[in-house]
Chains A and B, each alone.
Chain A
Amino acid sequence: MQRIYKKKISDKILDTLFDCAKKAPRSQGNEIIEFYFVRSKKIVEQIFWFCPGMEDIPELIAILGINQKKVANLESYYHYLELGSCLQNVLLSASSLGIGSVPVGSSNLAGIHSLLGLSKEISLKIVISLGYPTKNRKIEVDLSQFKKIRSYNLL
């Protein structure tokens, strides 16, 4: 069930991932996105069982959430745009560093929130599993649907 990772994610790389996540375009002075990086083997394993969508126990787990106390209008979708940018930065920076990453949609966020003992104003949104791939897994992506350009905007 648990993969044995030959290479560990160093503190420096962890800092880089966090730095890239933080530098995503966000509203100035309104730090609504919360970042959690979990690398304790015990807690990572506990989180794994709350994530039915996760295939293996990863080496590192990143979780992004929204601090609802800092959000003026909860109905607004802007904070979701910011969260999406932060998520994308984690995925892209991980990929550029040779680290495999999967945003895990099927995660029991209420369970994880309680497990981490977070305050109630924090609303967790997405879990990302991270780790160096154990083997080169060839992933085939069907790009045929993108062969036709449906519209072209010449501004």
Chain B
Amino acid sequence: MRKKIVEKDLINIIIHLISSSRLLIDEPKEYGPMRLFSAAKYLCQLLENTDDQNTKIIVEKIIELDPIISRDFFNKPKELKNCLDDLSKLITNHIREYDE
């Protein structure tokens, strides 16, 4: 069953992005990818109950990767790059199927 996305959920994610934008001025650059990925995770959580199988695969993968990105790959740019490249490929494959 689809989760009803309410304005409040989106506003919360906007607050997260604006706060991150402000804080990143003073924070180490390594925090940047983490903050963007967290925002992606929050959006995915709104799509968690999607009926579409391709969207579900993308969403579940992003939610699964979020703690790994923030805990294990912090300060490991090479691993982070590989992880995000693999994720991008996975997303591309599934949106292709989505279009077909």
The chain A residues found within 8 Å of chain B, CB to CB, are 1, 49-53, 55, 106-108, 110-111
Q: A106-B31, A108-B23 are in contact. Are A55 and B15 (CB under 8 A)?
A: no
Query: Distance in Å from the Cβ of A77 to the closest Cβ of chain B?
Result: 19
User: Chain B 35-52, CB within 8 Å of chain A: the 1/0 string?
Assistant: 100100010010000000
Chain B proximity of A85: nearest CB distance (Å): 24
Interface of B is mostly: helix
B38 interface neighbour in A52, A108, A110, Cβ under 8 Å: A52
Q: Is the CB of A51 within 8 A of B42?
A: no
Please give me the residue from chain B that is nearest to A50 by CB atom: B19
Query: In whole Å, how far is B76's beta carbon from the nearest beta carbon of chain A?
Result: 15
Q: Separation in Å of the A108 CB from the closest CB of chain B?
A: 4
B residues sitting closer than 8 Å to A (CB atoms) are 12-13, 15-16, 18-20, 22-23, 27, 31, 35, 38, 42, 45, 67, 70
Is there contact, CB below 8 Å, between B19 and A52? yes
Check B20–A49 contact: CB distance below 8 A.
no
Other CB < 8 Å A-B pairs besides A49-B12, A50-B15, 4 of them?
A49-B13, A50-B19, A55-B70, A106-B23
> Which A residues are CB-close (under 8 A) to B27?
106
Report A137 CB to chain B, min CB distance, Å: 10
User: What is the CB-to-nearest-CB distance from B73 to chain A, in angstroms, rounded to a whole number?
Assistant: 15
Q: B residues within 8 A CB of A50?
A: 15, 19
Partner of B16, one of A52, A55, A110: A52
